[in-house]
Amino acid sequence: MASILMPRCPLLKTHLETRASRVSTVFLRNAARMESSTAANATADSAGIAQGTESAAADILVQYVVLRRDLIDTWPLGSVVTQGCHASVAAIWLHKDDPDTLQYCSASNLDSMHKARERVLSGTVVTPPVFLGNLLYSVTLEVKGETQMLNLSDKLKVGGIAHKLWIEQPENIPTCLATKPYPKSLVSSFFKKLKLCK
């Protein structure tokens, strides 16, 4: 019976074994985090502090990258992707000492980053995207054009959300925006009306 479940192709078998090993590692890492979170909560001085620690520990980290749809439709794809890379790296570098950024970029987490997936109900794509229980995500969204990008940047500034608005030089064109990594619960409300970039 076991031979039916395991593929005979050596490459596929190796791939599945590697994948299973990664899943086990993530599961054990998450279990360890939950255990340490429980221990930290048990030693908290008050119930209010304990609840805050528990909810923060359970929250996933996410970095939002927002591209302009008008540029996606008119520029070469590689150029638009490069704009997103510039903004993402700049946002992380500008906040390299931030605890969320340090956790997001830690050596143990670099291979654990995932993209958010679309949620489809009755054949219709629904926002916000689905997060599948992993702890680190990059979410790439889109706005229609420059005006919407500048409005989003202003909204984030007012809300105290650290981000980098990438201005392409020498043209002086705002092309992309990226946040520093944040717990999803703190920033998702700013992005809930935006669509996943396709």
Q: Would you state the pLDDT for residue 59?
A: 78
Single-letter residue type at 149: M
Q: Identify the bridge partners of residue 124 per DSSP, sorted by sequence position.
A: 121
> Residue 14 is encoded by which pair of tokens?
């190796």
Asked if the bond preceding 170 is cis, omega within 30° of 0, the reply is yes
Residue in 78, 66, 83 with CA at minimum distance from that of residue 144? 66
> Residue 78 is encoded by which pair of tokens?
């590689």
Q: Identify the bridge partners of residue 115 per DSSP, sorted by sequence position.
A: 138
Residue tagged 């997103």 (tokens): 84
Single-letter residue type at 37: S
Measure CA of the first residue to CA of the last residue in the chain; give whole Å: 42
Q: Would you state the pLDDT for residue 8?
A: 53
Q: What is the pLDDT along the chain (198 residues), one digit of tens a residue?
A: 444 444 455 544 554 455 445 444 444 454 444 444 433 333 333 333 333 433 444 578 889 999 999 999 999 999 999 999 999 999 999 999 999 999 888 887 777 665 555 444 445 544 544 444 457 778 899 999 999 999 999 999 999 999 999 999 999 999 999 999 999 889 999 999 999 888
Q: Would you state the pLDDT for residue 112?
A: 65
pLDDT tens profile 171-197: 999 999 999 999 988 999 999 999 988
Q: Quick one: 60-196 is in which CATH superfamily? A: Bit1 (3.40.1490.10)
> Residue 61 is encoded by which pair of tokens?
């980290």
**Does this model's pTM top 0.85?**
no
Domain boundaries, the chain: 2-56, 60-196
